[in-house]
Amino acid sequence: MSDVQTPPGDIAARVRRLVEAFIETDLIRVRIERDGERIEVGRPPMRQDHAQVAEAVALAAEPVPVRNVELIKADLVGIFRLSRPAPVEGDLLEGDRELAYVEALGIRNPVRSRGAGRIAAILCKDGDAVDYGRPLFELDRG
């Protein structure tokens, strides 16, 4: 969808594309100048000596504890609203709790945590229009 829809003058989208391309390289700075515009993308230089590489390899070899992360998705189209008191990222949920609701055709359809866990991420903003299957919360079930 992105390429077709992006107007050529949309700076934010162009920066995003540049960043995406940049991440895949190991460059530390890229600058594009054209028609009086300048976009520069960079990251702090990384010291990568042998010790570091060895450490990274060692870390990768160690078994990483598997977290059980679950996405709570919208099951209908409507406006996303956080329930009160508004949940925040990091909240620990002891059991099933209403986190938000999707308002559709004047009806509030609750979005529940369906069990205990920690809110790892809130993926939509209060007032966003959400469609079917849109991820709303990321819950860490431990």
Partner 1 sequence: MLIANRGEIALRINRACQELGVKTVAIFSEADRESLHVRQADEAFCVGPGPVARSYLNIPNIISTALVTGCDAIHPGYGFMAENARFASICADHGIVFIGPKPEVIAAMGDKATAKRVMKEAGVATTPGTDILASVDEARKAASKIGYPVLIKATAGGGGKGMRVVERPEDLERSFHGASSEAEASFKDGRVYMEKLIRDPRHIEVQVLADEFGNVVHLGERDCSVQKPSHQKLIEEAPAPALSDKARRALHEMAIKACKHVKYSNAGTLEFLADGDNVYFMEMNTRIQVEHPVTEMVYSVDLVKEQIRIASGEKLGYAQSDLALRGHAIECRINAEDASNNFAPEAGTLTKVVFPGGPGIRVDTHVFSGAQVPPYYDSMIAKIVAFGATRDAAIARMERALRETVIEGVHTTIDECLVILATPEFRAGNYNIGFLPRLLETQAADAALAAAAVTA
Interacting residues toward partner 1 by CB under 8 A: 1, 4-5, 76-79, 104-105, 129, 131-134
Nearer to partner 1, 67 or 132 (CB): 132
Nearer to partner 1, 5 or 25 (CB): 5
Q: Which two tokens stand for residue 78?
A: 């409507």
Closest CA to 79 of 20, 124, 29: 124
Q: How far is the CB of 29 from partner 1 (least distance, A)?
A: 34
Residue 73 near residue 133, CB atoms below 8 Å: yes
- What DSSP line would sit under 2-67, residue for residue? HHHH--TT-HHHHHHHHHHHHHTS--SEEEEEETTEEEEEE-PPPP--HHHHHHHHHHHHSPPPPP
Nearer to partner 1, 42 or 132 (CB): 132
Nearer to partner 1, 70 or 103 (CB): 103
Q: How far is the CB of 105 from partner 1 (least distance, A)?
A: 6
Q: How far is the CB of 113 from partner 1 (least distance, A)?
A: 23
Q: How far is the CB of 99 from partner 1 (least distance, A)?
A: 20
* Distance in angstroms (rounded) separating the CA atoms of residues 107 and 78: 9
